[in-house]
Amino acid sequence: MRRLACLLLLLPAAALADERRSGSTYMSAETQAMQKDDTANPGMLWVQDGAALWSRKPAADKKACADCHGDAAASMKGVAARYPAFDAEQGRPVDLATRINLCREKHQQAAPFAAESESLLGLSAWLGLQSRGLPISPDPDPRSEPFREAGRRLYEQRMGQLNFACAQCHDDNAGKRLAGSVIPQAHPTGYPIYRLEWQGMGSLQRRLRNCMTGVRAEPFAYGAPEMVELELFLMSRAAGMTVETPGVRP
Amino acid sequence: MARTLINVPASAKRGEVIEIKTLIQHPMETGFRPGANGRILARDIITKFACTYNGEEVFAAELFPATAANPFLAFTTVASESGTFRFTWTGDNGFKQTETATISVT
Amino acid sequence: MTNATRRDALGLGAGLAAFLSFRPARATTAAMSEAIRDFAGTVKRQEGGITLDLPPLVENGNVVPLTVSVDSPMTAESFVKRIALFAEKNPQPHIGTYHLNPRSGRASVSSRIRLADSQAITAIAEMSDGSFRQTSAEVIVTLAACVEG
């Protein structure tokens, strides 16, 4: 199974699509219904926040996102499905939240949003929505490759006091129950998500930190290089799967 | 101001029973939960919701801490005439928010 | 591997129960009876004519979707005035009260509630003729694996 995960990078996604399942397919019918109905999905509240921020100037003499990027439905279509993506200036791949904050700092001369702030989650959800229904299409830049490899190693490496690797749960035991919840295959299809446990919105990195705490490991910091590497690997592993943002998860 | 999602059909036939769905961003802090410092966080909830249709109340709810965060309510009413629905949420710490939606009835 | 051995092997026990919010306090049967008495007085409540639709197995007690509906023509002569929900094991058993009237068209309300634990939920409707109806549904709340980091 673990070898399969590596092979995924080489094989056309469609050939394996039936083996891979989004986390949403493990959810109860009620939670699935909550995700599917835009008038009942609490994640849409954050999407609204993001839509408002998109066209709001951070200051009178500064440009709004929309002033440069125009209609998000056109300019941001498919963007979230491709991140993390290589950034030449940074010399490394950056996740979508960092990309948003780079625009805040470089192009709006405004302070970056804090990790997991409502504004950052709102904009991420708003951008994610512009890719909803599109296939996850990992960054094709070859310069991202070593980082993706590093992500794969992290995914397979045992960690924490409980000494568990991501792969042991999400490849070897996916579909089984762990203390009440089903272990999903860890595909980043719906992020940011409205998680019932959080009673709020959270990023993929918050989800990964939860998993790391779960095995009593010191979680990587938000935006840490390791986080971006893990994200890159998870996106490649889920290549071709459909973006569901804003997802709802238990 | 808290974000809301309100779903009212834009139009309906006279006499038709329509479903209205509302969702508002609110933590519904229970008052039973310890915060990061171990002390119990003060209660902060929405206590009342009301929906009027051209000024007349058609639905109301009293809420307690056991209503989930970001309260969701779906209910029905008979489409009687074109006009305005007014939704009001009130709660602890002076929380009050009103939103409107219109319907055309033929 | 069974659920139990898996859990033991991982050391992720019931201590990580999904529902942290309500842990400090818990209602008693007495509190439940009192809350119901506040709503329905001592009138005898009839079983039936009221439906509580709720998933039997809930993934997370923080958000439990439910629909309560009452058989009623919802006319000026005969309608549902109020519907209240109660949960015995919540620290405050009264979950909510919904006010309806003939203009509601149908007596059906959906919401999302919090449940501290697996338990029976009770719905009581007050009819326009002063009678009360009651029904209950059992819910099992499962646990989540990972805690907040």
- Domain CATH for A178: 1.10.760.10
A211 and chain C: CB distance < 8 Å anywhere?
Answer: yes
pLDDT surpassing 60 at residue C128: yes
Q: Which residue has the higher pLDDT, A37 or C11?
A: A37
Contacts of B17 in chain C (CB under 8 A): 105-106
**CA angle at C64 for the pair C60 and C68, rounded to the nearest 5°:** 160
Compute the nearest-CA separation of C47 from chain B (Å).
Answer: 23
| Contact (CB, 8 A) for A5 and A167 | yes
Partner residue opposite A45 with nearest CB, options B28, B70, B74: B70
Bridge partners of residue C122, in order along the sequence:
C86, C136
Smallest Cα–Cα separation from B98: which of B27, B43, B34, B49? Answer: B49
Q: How far apart are the first and last CA of chain A?
A: 26
Partner residue opposite C104 with nearest CB, options B30, B66, B76: B76
Distance CA A98, CA A203 (A): 12
Pair of tokens at residue C117: 């634990």
Q: CATH number, domain at B88?
A: 2.60.40.10
| A6 catalytically annotated | no
Pair of tokens at residue B18: 């329509």
Smallest Cα–Cα separation from A250: which of C63, B94, C23? Answer: C63
Distance CA A52, CA A47 (A): 9
Domain membership of residue A4 (yes or no) is no
User: What is the percent of chain C where pLDDT is above 90?
Assistant: 54
pLDDT band at C9 (very low <50, low <70, confident <90, very high): very low
Q: Which residue of B has its CA nearest to C91?
A: B32
**CA angle at C80 for the pair B97 and B8, rounded to the nearest 5°:** 40
Residue A180, pLDDT score = 73
The residue type at A156: E
Range with lowest mean pLDDT among A220-224, C114-118, C122-126: C114-118
A44 and chain B: CB distance < 8 Å anywhere?
Answer: yes
> Mean pLDDT for each 10-residue chunk of chain B (106 residues)?
94 97 95 81 95 97 95 98 98 97 97
Residue A218, pLDDT score = 94
CA-derived radius of gyration, chain B: 16
Q: Which residue has the higher pLDDT, C72 or B40?
A: C72
Domain total for chain B? 1
Can you give the residue range of the structural domain that contains B46? 4-105
Smallest Cα–Cα separation from C82: which of C54, C124, C45? Answer: C124
Count of beta carbons in the 10 Å neighbourhood of residue A121:
29
B64 and chain C: CB distance < 8 Å anywhere?
Answer: yes
Q: What is the ipTM of this complex?
A: 0.94
Give the CA dihedral C11, A235, A243, C58, nearest 10 degrees.
0
Can you give the residue range of the structural domain that contains C40? 30-141
Domain total for chain C? 1
Domain membership of residue C87 (yes or no) is yes
Residue C27, pLDDT score = 60
Interface size A-C, in CB pairs within 8 Å, comes to 85
> Mean pLDDT for each 10-residue chunk of chain A (250 residues)?
35 52 94 95 96 96 97 98 97 98 97 97 98 98 98 96 93 86 94 94 96 93 97 97 97
pLDDT surpassing 70 at residue C18: no
C60 and chain A: CB distance < 8 Å anywhere?
Answer: yes
C43 and chain A: CB distance < 8 Å anywhere?
Answer: no
pLDDT band at C71 (very low <50, low <70, confident <90, very high): very high
Domain membership of residue C59 (yes or no) is yes
Residue A167, pLDDT score = 96
Residue A114 DSSP label: P
Interface test with C, best of B25, B43, B54, B76 (most C CBs within 10 A): B76
| pLDDT tens digits, B6-15 | 999 999 999 9
Domain membership of residue C14 (yes or no) is no
Residue C144, pLDDT score = 38
Residue C26, pLDDT score = 56
Pair of tokens at residue C138: 């059992």
Distance CA A124, CA A46 (A): 9
Rounded to two decimals, what is the model's pTM? 0.87
Residue A115, pLDDT score = 96
Domain membership of residue A53 (yes or no) is yes
Burial category of A179 from C-beta neighbours within 10 Å (exposed 0-12, middle 13-18, buried 19 and up): buried
Residue whose pair of structure tokens reads 């074109």 in the numeric block: B82
Q: CATH number, domain at C130?
A: 2.60.40.2470
Pair of tokens at residue B30: 């229970």
Domain membership of residue A93 (yes or no) is yes
Partner residue opposite B64 with nearest CB, options C65, C95, C98: C95
Can you give the residue range of the structural domain that contains A240? 20-249
| Contact (CB, 8 A) for A220 and A227 | yes
Alpha helices (H) in chain A, listed in sequence order: 2-7, 13-16, 29-36, 43-54, 65-69, 72-75, 96-102, 108, 118-129, 145-156, 166-170, 204-214, 225-237
The residue type at B42: A
Domain total for chain A? 1
